Amino acid sequence: MRLPDEADVPAQINIVPMIDVIFAILTFFVMSTLFLTRSEGLPVNLPQAQTARKNTRPAQVTLTVDKAGKVFLNKQAISLEELEAGVQKNVKPQQPLMVILNADEGVNHGQIVKVMDRVRRVKGARLAIATRRE
């Protein structure tokens, strides 16, 4: 039984618990991203040097050999005879050049050896073979 002087209380949605949950999730993501840094060694205080250089990645070029045996240097077709000069143009003094070899698994082994031999003739160029994870 209701008394006549009582007013109807409108229905309300309490959002305080939802805000608490959102802040908890936000805190989780902030804290987890703090641990995403990659450490290459033990933490030490490094000495200073005026001749120090920034650890830079070597310059990279991509050498592709497709299933037909055609050779491409940075997506540009190149002949086997021009390959050594093409790679040499990308070598800069005092900076190593990483040549990444992408070769189709169906290419003749002899063709790949010829390509690798041409790249190895270039001073300052290092060769890496790209693979995919099984």
Mean pLDDT of the chain: 81
Please report, for the domain that includes residue 110, its CATH number.
3.30.420.270
Identify the helix (H) or strand (E) that includes residue 114.
helix 109-120
What are phi and psi for residue 9, nearest 5 degrees? Answer: -85, 125
Which residues lie below 8 Å from residue 103, measured CB to CB, with a gap of 6+?
64, 65, 112, 115, 129
What is the domain range of residue 64? 59-129
In this prediction, residue 27 carries a pLDDT of 94
Instruction: Judge whether residue 5 has pLDDT over 80.
Output: no
Q: What is the pLDDT of residues 65-115, one digit of tens each?
A: 888 888 888 888 888 888 888 888 888 877 788 888 888 888 888 888 988
SS3 59: strand
SS3 1: coil
Domain count, the chain: 1
In a domain, 91, yes or no: yes
Q: What is the spatial distance between Cα 123 and Cα 118, in angstroms, rounded to a whole number?
A: 11
Q: Which amino acid is present at 81?
A: E
In a domain, 34, yes or no: no
